[in-house]
Chains A and B, each alone.
Chain A
Amino acid sequence: MVSELPPRSRRAWLMFMWVLIALPPTARAQSAFELLARGPELGGLDVPRATADGVAGEGTPPALASTALFAASEVTAAPGSDSRASASDAPVLGGADVASSAGESAPLSGAPSVMPAPHPAPPGADVLSPGQAPLPPLAPRPSFQVMPVAASVLPGLLFHGLGPWLAGDGHTAKRLFALEGTGLGLIGLGLVPIALTGASRRTIAPLYAVTLAGVSTFGISALANLYAVTSPAFDPGMPPLTLPPLELELGYQYVNDPAFDYSHFVSLGAQARFESLRLEGTARIAPGEGNTQVRLGGGYRLLGNPERALRGSDGSWLDAEAFGLFHRFPTEGFTVAGAEVGLRGRYAMVRVSPALAGSFAEVSLGASFQGYSYMGAVDDGNLHDQLLFTFGYGVWLGRGGPVRGDAMLYYDHRKDGFAGGSRSRAGGVVGSFGLRGRALLTEDWGVAADVQAGGAIVGRLSLIYAVGGEP
């Protein structure tokens, strides 16, 4: 690369490299950060104003205050310790990493235009509140452009790399085209044999899995296409650094389903987080009509950081889940009870392309086994199985402050929920679609909302109270 430079540029380059080598690491980091600090994004509220030893001086620009903090952090490193190692743990180097990467991410054709914003690993968690940890400064990001956004909708929903490609981000475009192609291929690989075999009971399970994998890949690439060109309009969120050990939830759920008399539900929920174990319980109760659904279970983290210690993680994880379900329908005269098991995973889309930083894809696959008990002299000894499958595309909310959460557009294949499946001309094969969000707005309080449309419309709004956790 250097040898391709003209002689004058080569000399300048060598001079620059010598200066960099001659400077102590702290100075290098500071320089990089100061460079970044001139960017408009760094003036945001995310950057803490407090320094390690007090409040930033009056009138001190936030960026400079942050610089002071980072410098102070580094100064406190033990003398003689490996400065590179200590620096790698410091947020300033998170910024430095971004800065150095940002050099690569200058809008070059075929190269990432936005760099990932990995979690900072701040030095000494005792210095700053985990809920208000300093954020890595954002790398220079491409400006928002209307045309790529419009094109990402039409015809971008058919050509999934079109939006980024028009925005000059060939790297993301290629990845999304590849994802779309993979999705379409999998759909064909599953759907064609399903049609040819008449959805045979002998082969439907693997073929269905392949088809749904294709549908999810296709759907995720479609939404990623849209996200890649809309995200320059806002600061991308990041995974929460930690989540509280216990969250309690109280809310209201509305269901509009012409097949049922119920409409209004009290919604209750609780989540308890341990090391790798997460326990969940929800209840939906229609006070007037008596319909009651209780779901209890949890998940065990197989891959990725536990939710109480997400620091340093890009937010990707894989959980094994198991739930029990009890649902009583007094008006319709039956009760259903059963169990379900499955895997649920979340993948930070920044791994696909830096332009997708702040977003994630989530997929789950499992099965449920249920039995029905009917009122009256009705005997049914059947065990009903069901394919459980969801996929979604979401964004993290918040950037290291007290606001922690996510929002996701999703598809849910299950037919035993309040939304049910879509009543379509294909019968009842297609599931439901929804948008849900969940966020802690302060250290103690948050909200959750969910809108789902299948055969019924379901809306739910809940207040969350977080118990415990780090101050």
Chain B
Amino acid sequence: MGAVLALLASGCMRPAENRAVRDSKVGRADSGGMSLEVEDGLAAVRSLAAGELTLWGNAPAFTARATLSGDARSDWLVTVRNAMPDAELVAQVEGGEVLAVEALPQALPTVKAWRVGLPAGAKVRFTVAPPDWQAREPFRFVSLADVQEALPRVGDIYARMRQDDSVRFILFSGDLTETGSQEELLEFQSRLEAGSRIPLYATLGNHETFSNDAEAYSALVGRGSQSFVFRNVRFSVVDSSNGTLDPVVEEQLEGWLAASRDGAHVVSMHVPPQDPVGLRGGGFANRAESAGLVGKMAREGVDLTLYGHIHSYYSFTNAGIPAFISGGGGAIPETFDGVGRHYLVVDIGADDGLREVSLVRVD
């Protein structure tokens, strides 16, 4: 019996391990005369063929290294979906020369396309970012989670967001769709591109794992755990969809925490380490693990933690860090909470840290 229990448990001890390993492959492709690697996996390669590259951005700014074969085409069409509306492409041959880039007209606010000539056999570094990505001024972003089965109605949320021109992007804390299937994720992305004027950068939720352990998510959206910097504020999203952090992810997070010890840092994940309603227990599977995690984040000076999974709005603290649950994307709402569909608007700055978090009701 003990052996049976051990076998059963072994599958539950590191359920997120495969996804953590798979993360390392996001942003890599080799086809059509180009070998591409997106640094830190901040974009997913949607297609790569001779003369044509399409990426799905999962960060406001990212770089990629391309190595072209000797017989590669020289004229390339580079498309980045889910890009910042004012993103620019800089293509630079390693060693110095900045290549000429022609921006193509935009049909959608978050779909950017450029024509660029790439010399065969060269190593080229692409940078996709808005002009102000390294500034230090405060900015505003949106926090949202848990759309799930409310996907057909998600346009209402984007329409509400369009009323505020100052928000730069959406930080999404998991459960984009109900089951995480390829069809659902493609629908999510098409509705996002059609309805939102700003991109959405996400981590996955437990619902994404329902379909082949989130394989479609990795292919279409990107990494479950990643970290990027925008205007000198670090954003780290980690895959907590099984109520735990895989040791690989925790080690990555420790690196990101150390890198932003003295700067502003926002950490987001789907399942909150601690459910403010303890009797419900919607947090991590092991309370000691969650205490260890929030304690670590607090000691490293994290400014804000954002969570999903619980379909309501909660404002609390974990180990003294301001914490918010904003699962107002439309999935079966928590009743009697008087909130309904909602999202958060967060004002933050590199020098000021967290300035303000506002609740915006959609319905």
- What residues of chain A have their CB less than 8 Å away from a CB belonging to chain B? 195-205, 208, 256-260, 327, 329, 332-334, 336, 367, 372, 374-380, 382, 384-387, 409, 413, 415-416, 420-430, 433-435, 451-457, 459
**Bound Cα distance A208, B278 (Å):** 12
- Interface members, chain B 240-288 (any A CB < 8 Å): 241-247, 250, 271, 274, 277-288
Partner of B9, one of A259, A336, A409, A453: A453
Cβ B320 vs Cβ A379 within 8 A:
yes
Cβ A334 vs Cβ B247 within 8 A:
no
Given contacts A424-B242, A428-B243, whether A382 and B282 have CB atoms under 8 Å apart is no
Q: How many A-B residue pairs lie within 8 Å, measured between CB atoms?
A: 226
Cβ A198 vs Cβ B334 within 8 A:
yes
Q: Would you list 11 pairs from A and B whose C-beta atoms are within 8 A, ordered by A residue? A: A336-B287, A385-B278, A386-B287, A415-B281, A420-B287, A426-B206, A427-B309, A453-B12, A454-B12, A455-B244, A457-B5
Partner of B279, one of A205, A258, A336: A205
Cβ A334 vs Cβ B13 within 8 A:
no
Cβ A203 vs Cβ B336 within 8 A:
yes
Report if B195 contacts A (CB, 8 A): no
Instruction: Tell me the count of chain B residues lying within 8 A, CB to CB, of chain A.
Output: 61
**Bound Cα distance A328, B11 (Å):** 28
Partner of B243, one of A208, A380, A421: A421
Report if B166 contacts A (CB, 8 A): no
Partner of A196, one of B244, B277, B299, B332: B332
Measured between beta carbons, the chain A residues less than 8 angstroms from B241 are 425, 427
Given contacts A409-B1, A453-B5, A459-B2, whether A387 and B279 have CB atoms under 8 Å apart is yes
Measured between beta carbons, the chain B residues less than 8 angstroms from A456 are 9, 13, 286
Q: Which residue of A lies closest to B271 (CB)?
A: A427
Cβ A427 vs Cβ B282 within 8 A:
yes
Measured between beta carbons, the chain A residues less than 8 angstroms from B311 are 198-199
Cβ A200 vs Cβ B334 within 8 A:
yes
Given contacts A204-B277, A387-B281, A459-B2, whether A420 and B288 have CB atoms under 8 Å apart is yes
Of B38-46, B153-161, B290-298, which binds chain A?
A: B290-298
The residue among B243, B286, B317, B334 with the most chain A CB atoms within 10 A of its own CB is B286
CB distance from A354 to the nearest CB of B (A): 26
Cβ B280 vs Cβ A332 within 8 A:
no
Partner of A380, one of B247, B250, B317: B317
Partner of A367, one of B279, B292, B316: B279
Partner of B13, one of A375, A379, A429, A457: A457
**Bound Cα distance A202, B292 (Å):** 29
Cβ A200 vs Cβ B335 within 8 A:
yes
Given contacts A336-B291, A428-B285, A435-B1, whether A197 and B335 have CB atoms under 8 Å apart is yes
Cβ A453 vs Cβ B8 within 8 A:
yes
Given contacts A205-B279, A428-B243, whether A197 and B12 have CB atoms under 8 Å apart is no
The residue among B13, B206, B282, B318 with the most chain A CB atoms within 10 A of its own CB is B13
Question: Main SS of the interface on chain B?
Answer: loop
Report if B15 contacts A (CB, 8 A): yes
**Bound Cα distance A200, B333 (Å):** 8
Measured between beta carbons, the chain A residues less than 8 angstroms from B288 are 259-260, 327, 329, 332, 336, 416, 420
Cβ B335 vs Cβ A415 within 8 A:
no
Cβ A257 vs Cβ B336 within 8 A:
no
Report if B337 contacts A (CB, 8 A): yes
Report if B304 contacts A (CB, 8 A): no
Cβ A374 vs Cβ B335 within 8 A:
no
Question: What 13 new A-B contacts, CB under 8 Å, besides A420-B289, A423-B16, A451-B1?
Answer: A198-B312, A202-B336, A202-B337, A259-B247, A327-B288, A332-B292, A333-B295, A376-B298, A380-B320, A427-B309, A428-B283, A435-B5, A457-B10
Given contacts A334-B295, A409-B1, A427-B285, whether A199 and B280 have CB atoms under 8 Å apart is yes
The proximity string for B residues 1-40 relative to A, scoring 1 for CB distances below 8 Å and 0 otherwise, is 1100110111011111000000000000000000000000
